[in-house]
Structure 1
């Protein structure tokens, strides 16, 4: 399993457990950089600490702030909006260039649907 694959798996496990998703923004809004595949992706993280690490370690995201989104809002509002806008979902991007898996919003929703919160 690659590091990106492990981060993607952890993303879904952690967001279901924590019932929240994290993203980042600055005065210009939420980032959605163009990837090498020609698609734009908006990054999301499963834990506050993961988002904070990218803000602290990736120059392009210096000055950004973390934003918490309740999982219910992410599912019902954000994912349909991303789908409408033709954006992909970046899952737990990490490393010095903030990279990782990007998936279609419908695939992210399907992955959430197959997981249940731990009791």
Structure 2
């Protein structure tokens, strides 16, 4: 399994369990860097420590602010908005160049859809 595949699998397991995802802000705005093909991807991490590692290792992200977003709000509000904007979702980017899988918002929604007949993973009210 590649590092990117392992990071993606970790994201799918850890994010719902943590109840949050983490991203980084630059000047109070979310970042969504352009990729070589012209598309954009907004990074999210399943643990604060993963985001901190990128901020510490990648010069372009040095000193940027790490923020937590409640998992349910992210999935309900931000992921569909990113789909409308045509922005991909970077999951658990890592390493000196902050690389990893960039996934469509539709795929993210599919990852976390509750199977029919089972309750969703919502933690609202708890």
Superposition TM-score, scaled by structure 1 size = 0.92
Q: Which residue in the other structure is 2:39 paired with?
A: 39
The 3-state SS of whatever aligns with 2:27 is: coil
Quote the offset at 1:114 in angstroms: 5.4
Quote the offset at 1:36 in angstroms: 2.7
Count of aligned residue pairs for this structure pair: 117
- Unaligned 5+ segments in structure 1 are none
Q: Which residue in the other structure is 1:111 paired with?
A: 111
CA distance in 2, matches of 1:83, 1:74: 12
CA distance in 2, matches of 1:112, 1:6: 17
Listed one character per residue, the Cα deviations across residues 50-109 of structure 1 (whole Å, up to 9, x for unaligned) are 000011110000120111000110011100110011100000000000010001001011
Show structure 1 runs of 4+ deviating over 6 A: none
Pick the structure with greater CA Rg.
Answer: 2
Higher RCO (Cα < 8 Å, 6 or more apart): 1
Quote the offset at 1:38 in angstroms: 2.7
Quote the offset at 1:26 in angstroms: 1.6
When the two chains are superposed, the root-mean-square deviation of aligned CA atoms in Å is 1.5
Q: Which residue in the other structure is 1:92 paired with?
A: 92
- Written as runs of structure 1 = structure 2, the 5 A alignment for 1:18-29 is 18-27=18-27, 29=29
CA distance in 1, matches of 2:30, 2:59: 16
- Unaligned 5+ segments in structure 2 are 122-126
Q: Which residue in the other structure is 1:56 paired with?
A: 56
CA distance in 2, matches of 1:114, 1:58: 35
CA distance in 2, matches of 1:80, 1:108: 10
